[in-house]
Structure 1
Amino acid sequence: MLKKWGIFCLAFVLAVVPFLQTEEAAASSTADQVISAGKSQLGTPYRWGGTTTSGFDCSGFTGYAFAKAGIDLPRTAAQQYQVGTPVSRSNLQPGDLVFFNTRGGISHNGIYIGGNKFIHSSSSKGVSIASLGNVYWSPRYVGAKRVIQDQSSEVASVQSSAPTYETANVVVNGDTLNTDQDAVTKDGRTLVPMRAIFEEMGAVVQWDSSSKRVTGHLDGKKVALTIGNKRATAQGSTVTLDQPAELVNGRTMVPLRFVGESLGAVVHWENSSKTAKIYQ
């Protein structure tokens, strides 16, 4: 009897363990995705204002890494410090954002990877790994924010599947816009990455993860919209979008015409080359 019971237990273990291993492998955490995306760029040079793999500044790098996990961060280090939940240095977890004061105020940031180390885009070394205990970084450490627990599940619930779209080009004031998320066409409508275009035009863009609401400010003008909602506001007036804003790969995508309606830009769609042309 005991022998039969032992054989049954062994068979059960042999059957269940591969399943558990498969589940564990499939359950790669958001933090792992962020860190993996960051490490894939080790050695990428520093570039002031850079947000692409040809060169990053500090917040351009963190924004890129988090976008790969479906999380949209504000553009600058100071703005990124305004989102998420404060975390004590003793309670840091991989994937937390760490911030530093290098020239007055929040002026640099990176991603904590564990072991008292963080990955960042340094002006001297490009994308590299440093220690929080480093004689330069330790006294300049300001604090940390945890954004993954606030945004990952929300983004996942509304994120669209990019492969169902056709990509398009964007030209702003005569220059081709290079971003980590292309413009796309869907059901005959063109959706463009709001943050990249607005910031190229000089606007400041902010993202509220709890309400899935994005706002933009430029020269006293304010626009606001919510993911999945056709109603937006521009200069205090309600605007009805022909298609609601949505998330694609963690980036807020808005109808092309909304750019013109909200910031007074001239927009033109060139169907032959699949190019959205925007002029201020």
Structure 2
Amino acid sequence: MNLKKLSSTFLLTMMLIFTVSNLAHASLLQPNVYVNNQKMDIYAHVSVVGVTYVPFRPIFSKLNMTVNWDNAKKSVTATDGTTTIVLTNNSYTAYVNGKAVQLINPPVYNPDDKLFYVNLRFVAESTGAVVNWSKTDTDANIYITNPNLK
């Protein structure tokens, strides 16, 4: 009888550890995104090389940029009147105000969810924002601060 209780307790403990571990891991791989301390309704995705990706439309919109999507080229152009950013699917070259900028990893179009994912740090810093990470053992948040935003 004691062996049965011990086995059940061990099994339950292992299940709880595994569940909490998976939740923490998922949270670190999909951090929350805040722009000027307002939480966005998106999660970032961190690639294996550490590049943080987000869907382009919500982040550009939050940064007060007008967005144009070219479905044929799988490229996005975003502008706020002073800064224009052009990103193309799988291209290691982005354009900021017409100047070519080399990227660590290219933006990616995902045909499954039909979303175009862009490098969050590149986009934020190209618009004059500052990006900071806040990590614990179980959670991660990204804070983008742009004093030009209202």
User: What TM-score, normalized to structure 1?
Assistant: 0.39
Mark the runs of 5 or more structure 1 residues left unpaired by the alignment: 1-162
Identity of aligned residues (%): 33
The equivalent position to 1:211 in structure 2, one of 68, 73, 86, is 73
Q: Does the aligned pair in 2 maintain the 1:221–1:235 contact within 8 Å?
A: yes
- Which residue of the partner structure matches residue 250 of structure 1? 114
What 5-or-longer segments of structure 2 have no aligned partner? 1-25
SS in 1 for 2:31: strand
Give the conservation status (yes or no) of the 8 Å contact 2:125–2:131.
no
Question: How many pairs align?
Answer: 115
Name the amino acid aligned to 1:185. V
Deviating beyond 4 angstroms after TM superposition, the runs of 4 or more aligned structure 1 residues are: none
Is the partner of 1:178 in helix, strand or coil? Answer: strand
Quote how far apart the aligned CAs of 1:274 are. Answer: 1.8
Amino acid at match of 1:274: A
What are the within-5 Å matches in structure 2 for residues 1-280 of structure 1? 166-179=29-42, 182-187=43-48, 188-248=50-110, 249-272=113-136, 273-280=139-146
Q: Contact 1:259–1:267 (CA<8 Å) still a contact in 2? A: no
Q: What is the CA–CA distance in structure 2 between the aligned matches of 1:270 and 1:252, rounded to whole Å?
A: 25
Give the structure with higher Rg (CA).
1
* Bigger RCO (CA 8 Å, 6+ sep): 2
In the TM superposition, residue 264 of structure 1 has moved relative to its aligned partner by 1.2
Secondary structure, aligned partner of 1:228: coil
Instruction: Please give the root-mean-square deviation of Cα atoms over the aligned residues, in Å.
Output: 2.0
- Distance in 1 of aligned mates of 2:34 and 2:126: 18
- Assess if the C-alpha contact under 8 Å between 1:222 and 1:234 holds in 2: yes
Rounded to whole Å, the distance in 1 between the matches of 2:32 and 2:143 is 8
